[in-house]
């Protein structure tokens, strides 16, 4: 009897090992956010970063010369803009005083280097080299000078995982300027996002700036997002569908900023 | 076996180092799933499941964007189902053999995408389908190119 049982197990061992691996996989899935798993991931991430570091350095060297030239041009443009902005600042302060306007948010930007872009078949996350030691918290917005690129979804001591704006489940409350229309932004493809829930009577034009609406607790108002590239009416609903272009190429980011909300005076 | 260990290391390094360079838009190929298919077709379901689970588990810890346990599940399914194709290439015929291999990958990507994007499956099915098909097609096209170099049915 025992021999028969052993023989049966031996004969069907591939079925047994498969059932066992499925059970183990589900146990792992349901415990994926435990502290132990996070710690193990941190170690593994450090290994990946170590393996990738020579390649990253090489890539950085190639790109830095090109970037340097672009930055010089931008510096010149920005210094000219700064002059005109200084004038606006003085005017703005005077007007604020007149209106007794209180500054609502104070955002600190922490620079971070992209350590790892994720390995599996969908590009939905990246790892950056700053973590809780630098003051990064879960849900902090991540952006570049061109605009929002994602939010922090998990934080380790010296690294954090960013859910990218290109992730299919990423949603962002936005405001289109100058009309002030609001909507929900979601990724479509090739750096183009769709904005839904925009009223049909809103006056939106190609080239309008898109910023965060500030309706959510995660993203403060006024952070840049992108530029309107097309506007269409949704035939089935009383809404417009607005296409927005994100200026960053998400697959070739080297440096980003984490926006830390220091205080939120209600 | 030594040959497969070497191929696994190469596939792993390609996945880590080159998958971003090879990405088209937001999608990138999964070289390790291709490795598991070849491995399972050569060594059968038992070893296929073991290899699938182990490789999936390792890569899960290396990729912060994926749920731990999801890749062991998908790769185990590929290893298990792929193993049934061992020594059956002539009995099944070329067309059926390749078709079944493709269906195994399509099915495993469905499981992977479902667990990763459960919200989309119930709320935005078209986006779910797009995510599923784009990733699957890219990986399948890499597998198709490989057929000219190392045909799966000749393993």
pLDDT of residue A262: 59
pTM (predicted TM-score): 0.62
Q: Is the model more confident about A100 or about B139?
A: B139
pLDDT greater than 50 at residue A264: no
> CB-CB: which of B25, B69, B124 is closest to A25?
B69
Contact B76 A47 (CB under 8 A): no
Contact A25 B53 (CB under 8 A): yes
- Mean pLDDT, range A167-181, rounded to an integer: 83
Mean pLDDT of chain A: 78
pLDDT greater than 60 at residue A104: no
- Domains of chain B from N-terminus onward: 2-154 (1.10.1760)
Which residues of chain B are within 8 Å of residue A196 when distances are taken between CB atoms?
A: none
Mean pLDDT of chain B: 85
Contact B53 A48 (CB under 8 A): no
Determine phi and psi for A165, rounding to 5 degrees.
-60, -20
Q: Would the ipTM clear 0.95, i.e. be above it?
A: no
Which residues of chain A are within 8 Å of residue B41 when distances are taken between CB atoms?
A: none
- Mean pLDDT, range B79-102, rounded to an integer: 86
pLDDT greater than 80 at residue B40: yes
- Rounded to a whole number of angstroms, the distance from the CA of A20 to the nearest CA of chain B is 10
pLDDT greater than 90 at residue A101: no
């Amino acid at each position: 009897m025992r021999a028969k049982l052993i023989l049966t197990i031996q004969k069907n061992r591939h079925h047994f090992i498969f059932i066992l691996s499925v059970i183990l996989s589900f146990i792992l899935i349901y415990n994926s956010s435990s502290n132990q798993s996070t710690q193990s991931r941190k170690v593994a991430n450090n290994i990946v970063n170590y393996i990738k570091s020579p390649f990253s350095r090489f890539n950085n060297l190639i790109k830095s010369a090109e970037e340097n030239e672009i930055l010089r041009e931008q510096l010149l443009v920005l210094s000219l803009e700064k002059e005109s902005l200084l004038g606006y600042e003085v005017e703005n302060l005077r007007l604020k005083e007149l209106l007794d306007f209180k500054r609502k948010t104070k955002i600190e930007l922490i620079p971070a280097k992209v350590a790892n872009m994720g390995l599996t078949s969908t590009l939905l996350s990246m790892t950056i080299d700053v973590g809780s030691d630098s003051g990064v918290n879960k849900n902090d917005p991540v952006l570049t000078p061109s605009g929002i690129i994602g939010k922090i979804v998990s934080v380790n001591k010296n690294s954090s995982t960013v859910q990218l704006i290109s992730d299919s489940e990423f949603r962002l409350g936005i405001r289109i300027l100058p009309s002030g229309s609001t909507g929900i932004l979601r990724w479509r493809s090739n750096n183009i996002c769709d904005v839904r829930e925009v009223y049909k009577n809103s006056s939106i034009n190609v080239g309008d700036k898109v910023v965060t609406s500030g309706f959510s607790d995660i993203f403060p108002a006024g952070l840049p997002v992108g530029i309107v590239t097309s506007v269409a009416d949704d035939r089935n609903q009383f809404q417009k569908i607005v296409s927005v272009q994100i200026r960053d190429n998400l697959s070739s980011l080297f440096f980003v900023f984490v926006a830390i909300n220091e205080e939120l005076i209600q | 076996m030594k040959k497969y260990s070497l191929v696994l290391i190469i596939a792993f390094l390609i996945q880590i180092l080159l998958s971003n360079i090879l990405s088209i838009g937001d999608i990138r190929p999964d070289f390790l799933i291709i490795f598991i298919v070849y491995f399972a077709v050569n060594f059968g379901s038992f070893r296929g499941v073991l290899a699938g689970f182990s490789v999936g588990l390792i890569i899960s810890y290396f990729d912060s964007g994926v749920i731990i346990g999801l890749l062991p599940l998908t790769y185990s399914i590929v290893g298990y189902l792929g193993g049934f194709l061992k020594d059956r290439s002539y009995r099944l015929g070329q067309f059926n053999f390749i078709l079944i291999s493709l269906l195994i990958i399509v099915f495993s990507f469905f499981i992977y995408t479902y667990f990763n994007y459960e919200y989309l499956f119930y709320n935005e099915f078209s986006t779910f389908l797009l995510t599923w098909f784009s990733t699957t097609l890219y990986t399948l096209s890499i597998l198709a190119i490989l057929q000219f170099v190392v045909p799966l049915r000749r393993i």
